Amino acid sequence: MESLSDQEIISRVLGGNTRSFAELLERHKDKAMTIAMRMLRNREEAEEAVQDAFVRAFNALGKFEKRSTFSTWLYRILFNVCSTMLSKRGGPPQSISSDNNEGEQEDEIPDLSEIPDSIVEGDEFRQQVVESMNELPPLYSGIATMFYLDDLSYEEIVTITGAPLGTVKARLFRARALLRDAIVRRIGIKEFAR
Amino acid sequence: MNHPTTSELFEFVDNRVGKERAGQIGSHLTECAHCRRQVELERSTRRIVQSEPLITASERLAALVMIHVGTPARDPLALRLLGKLGSFVAMIVVLAVVGLAISNVSEVNDQPNNSSPSITHVVAPLSEVYEKAIQSLTSESSSMTQSFENTGDVQFWKTVFIVALSIGAVAAADRVLGRRFIKLRP
């Protein structure tokens, strides 16, 4: 079973061997959980979202077209489930399909040349990156996690979010800039103040 | 050369800028510590996110998904292996139960004022079968058998039986509940 590709497992499941779906679940559940946690920031809700996404994926497996990988397809379902859960919580709109007002505006950043090498190599920096990821607004955090974690291309994120390429690029730029700013602020507070 | 924009630097890291522009940005980075640091920050961030441990989904989640899709959370290979393991464990459990029962009854019968000889009659044939089974299991190691008979280390064998019973109970619970107390795969 270990050597089978996702596509081969899907063929088995569609052929009636539904138990093989457990292998797909085992392969992808932790990454899905990580993305859901970054978006929802609540373990119970994240588990619920991942469970819902896998059940939906199983039920729609026959419609899976091999144009993308299974993980990209699964993330799309998961992203929609998480977005819906976020919308139900209230707060700002969570759809990213129509936010054309969010261009790739260049922002002012402090002089980074002052940051010594030792800072960006240590365990403390690692911790600061992780904490900064958790500070990002949920959708940015979700997109940035998928982008970094699976080395996804812009086009794959278009598939996942259903948003136009321009919007995805703008959102991704914003997520990375916010993340960079959060990191710089953290190390700035600690190091530049010395 | 002016500083590349942040957007350009991100695309440079993503290998999404043209060859000529990539060369220009590369040259700029050798001279500009600010832009170089920005690129390094971005690369480090990516490395760190990729190397951070994933958040582990619970076993319960997997079990619930498989219940929803109408099948226990176990693949056929695991099921086959568990079936073989289950048979082996079941055999040990049966031997253990019989062994414990016999040893307890024997202890009762060894009491000086025991006034129920009929129990001995009932147990005797069973005891013979049990001893033959033990002898056949240990026939390749006659010295072990002898040691067992000589020392009569009943306590040791009782411990073995209890451990075997525990394994049997866990295996049975595993099969009944459809959970993975016994992991057959890493």
Residue A7: alpha-carbon gap to chain centroid: 22
Provide CB contacts within 8 A for B81, sequence distance 6+.
B184
Provide CB contacts within 8 A for A135, sequence distance 6+.
A182
Contact B64/A at CB under 8 A: yes
Q: Which residue on chain B is closest to A49 by alpha carbon?
A: B61
User: Are B54 and B45 in contact, with CB atoms under 8 Å apart?
Assistant: no
Nearest CB to B54; choose among A34, A115, A133: A34
pLDDT (0 to 100) of residue A18: 87
Provide CB contacts within 8 A for B31, sequence distance 6+.
none
For residues B67-77, average pLDDT? 64
pLDDT (0 to 100) of residue A31: 95
The number of beta carbons lying within 10 Å of the beta carbon of residue A39 is: 29
Same domain, A11 and A85: yes
Last residue of a domain, one of A46, A74, A89: A89
In this complex, do B50 and A151 lie within 8 Å of one another by their Cβ atoms? yes
Residues of B with Cβ-Cβ distance to A177 under 8 angstroms: 6
Contact B72/A at CB under 8 A: yes
Nearest CB to B61; choose among A21, A37, A50: A50
Same domain, A79 and A118: no
Q: Which residue on chain A is closest to B52 by alpha carbon?
A: A130
Q: How far is A16 from chain B (nearest CA, A)?
A: 11
Confidence band for B146, pLDDT divided at 50, 70 and 90: low
pLDDT (0 to 100) of residue B157: 77
Q: How far is B141 from chain A (nearest CA, A)?
A: 39
pLDDT at B152 over 80: no
Domain membership flag for residue A35: yes
Same domain, A80 and A146: no
Q: Which residue has the higher pLDDT, B30 or A115?
A: B30
Same domain, A16 and A82: yes
Confidence band for B150, pLDDT divided at 50, 70 and 90: low
Residues of A with Cβ-Cβ distance to B38 under 8 angstroms: 109, 112, 180
Write the CATH number for A46.
1.10.1740.10
Same domain, A25 and A84: yes
> What does the domain layout of chain B look like in residue ranges?
6-51, 72-177
Residue carrying the six token digits 């992780």: A130
- Best of A14, A45, A78, A148 to substitute, by most chain B Cβ atoms within 10 angstroms, is A148
Write the CATH number for A150.
1.10.10.10
Question: Which range among A151-160, B12-21, B46-55, B72-81 shows the weakest confidence by mean pLDDT?
Answer: B72-81
pLDDT (0 to 100) of residue B82: 64
Same domain, A83 and A134: no
A-B contacts at Cβ under 8 angstroms: 129
pLDDT (0 to 100) of residue B130: 66
Secondary structure element (H or E) that encloses residue A85, with its range? helix A70-89
ipTM reported for the complex, 2 dp: 0.81
Last residue of a domain, one of A89, A121, A144: A89
Confidence band for B163, pLDDT divided at 50, 70 and 90: confident
Residues of B with Cβ-Cβ distance to A176 under 8 angstroms: 10, 42, 45
Domain membership flag for residue A101: no
pLDDT (0 to 100) of residue B183: 43
Nearest CB to B62; choose among A25, A113, A144: A25
Domain membership flag for residue A107: no
Q: What is the pLDDT of residues A83-113, one digit of tens each?
A: 999 998 876 544 444 444 454 555 566 677 7
Same domain, A57 and A117: no
In this complex, do B45 and A129 lie within 8 Å of one another by their Cβ atoms? yes
Q: What is the pTM of this model?
A: 0.64
pLDDT (0 to 100) of residue B111: 57
pLDDT (0 to 100) of residue B175: 60
- Best of A1, A8, A25, A118 to substitute, by most chain B Cβ atoms within 10 angstroms, is A25
Same domain, A84 and A10: yes
Residues of A with Cβ-Cβ distance to B60 under 8 angstroms: 47
Rounded-to-integer distance, Cα A24 and Cα A13, Å: 10
Domain membership flag for residue A1: no
pLDDT (0 to 100) of residue B143: 54
Quote the number of domains for chain A.
2
What are the residue ranges of helices labelled H in chain B? 6-13, 19-31, 33-51, 59-68, 76-110, 117-137, 142-151, 154-177
In this complex, do A120 and B44 lie within 8 Å of one another by their Cβ atoms? yes
Q: Which long-range contacts (CB under 8 A, 24 or more apart) does A78-81 make?
A: A78/A32, A78/A35, A78/A36, A78/A49, A78/A50, A78/A53, A79/A35, A79/A39, A79/A142, A79/A146, A79/A160, A79/A161, A80/A162, A81/A49, A81/A52, A81/A53, A81/A56
Range of the domain at A46: 6-89
Residue A115: alpha-carbon gap to chain centroid: 28
For residues B150-173, average pLDDT? 73
- Best of B65, B67, B80 to substitute, by most chain A Cβ atoms within 10 angstroms, is B65
| Residues in chain A where the model's pLDDT stays below 70 | 1-2, 91-110, 189-194
Q: What is the pLDDT of residues B73-120, one digit of tens each?
A: 444 455 556 666 766 777 777 777 777 776 666 565 555 555 555 555
pLDDT (0 to 100) of residue B104: 66
Residues of B with Cβ-Cβ distance to A34 under 8 angstroms: 54-55
Q: Which residue on chain A is closest to B6 by alpha carbon?
A: A106
3-state secondary structure string, B33-71?
HHHHHHHHHHHHHHHHHHHCCCCCCCHHHHHHHHHHCCC
Domain membership flag for residue A173: yes
pLDDT (0 to 100) of residue B126: 61
